[in-house]
């Protein structure tokens, strides 16, 4: 569930074939309704090399646009325990990525591109039987989070995203400075 701040410097655009339908209304929609062309990106091919599996992933994953002040997250199957005041959208059957309306409407396309692939990594992890909300790990040591961040950082580097933009992207509000530095180090992003 990456969080975005104002970017330190202008960032490159995501691949041109990706479009973001910023007018996608509140509610649940197929992922390609909000992100038409996502399935045709080279990133999608690197993310899921098997074409039938990729087609299935993109045809069976939904996004739910909510008015809540949130970024993006994969809706859990059941309400997770021990998450404080967070009241997530729960999706017992469908794979669903929840997106805050403000994030969809106003965040830079590059950030939305990185976020949607970060969350798609989590969908694939769940399909593989991995626990997305494993409370045994801190956020920055969670194997599923590190893997998802590593994928999008690698993709960002292919787009020649500058290190300051990567640092800003990885600055999430629910970790402290020490954890932030640990995440940067783990992902090989310079501290600046």
What residue spans of 49-142 are helical by DSSP H? Answer: 51-60, 101-106, 109-127
Give me 112's structure tokens. 């939305």
Q: Which pLDDT belongs to residue 134?
A: 84
DSSP lists the bridge partners of residue 96 as 62
Alpha helix segments (H runs only) across the chain: 31-34, 42-47, 51-60, 101-106, 109-127, 143-158, 163-170, 177-187
Pairwise CA distance, residues 103 & 192, whole Å: 26
CA distance 150 to 122: 12
| Nearest-angstrom CA–CA distance, 148 and 72 | 13
**Residue 79 DSSP label:** P
Residues in the chain: 192
What are the DSSP E strand ranges found in 17-101? 27-30, 61-66, 72-74, 95-100
| Predicted pLDDT at 7 | 45
| Residue 12 DSSP one-character state | P
The predicted structure's pLDDT at residue 88: 87
In degrees and rounded to multiples of 5, residue 65 shows phi and psi of -85, 125
First to last CA, the chain: 23
Q: What token pair was written down for 164?
A: 């300051």
CB-CB contact of 104 with 34 (8 Å)? yes
* Residues of the chain falling short of pLDDT 70: 1-17, 81-86
**The predicted structure's pLDDT at residue 78:** 86
Per-residue tokens: 142: 């969670």
């Amino acid at each position: 569930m990456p969080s975005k701040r104002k970017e330190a410097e202008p960032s490159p655009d995501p691949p041109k074939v990706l479009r973001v339908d910023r007018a996608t209304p509140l509610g649940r929609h197929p992922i390609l309704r909000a992100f038409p062309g996502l399935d045709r990106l080279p990133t999608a091919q690197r993310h899921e090399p098997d074409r039938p599996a990729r087609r299935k992933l993109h045809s069976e994953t939904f996004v739910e646009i909510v008015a809540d002040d949130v970024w993006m997250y994969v809706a859990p199957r059941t309400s997770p325990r021990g998450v404080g005041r967070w009241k997530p959208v729960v999706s017992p059957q469908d794979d669903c990525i929840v997106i805050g309306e403000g994030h969809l409407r106003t965040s830079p396309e590059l950030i939305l591109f990185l976020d949607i692939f970060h969350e798609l990594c989590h969908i694939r992890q769940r399909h593989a039987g991995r626990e997305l909300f494993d409370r045994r790990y801190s956020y920055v040591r969670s194997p599923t989070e590190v893997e998802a961040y590593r994928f999008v950082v690698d993709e960002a580097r292919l787009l020649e995203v500058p290190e300051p933009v990567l640092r800003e992207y990885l600055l999430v509000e629910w970790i402290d400075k020490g954890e932030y530095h640990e995440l940067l180090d783990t992902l090989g992003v310079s501290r600046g």
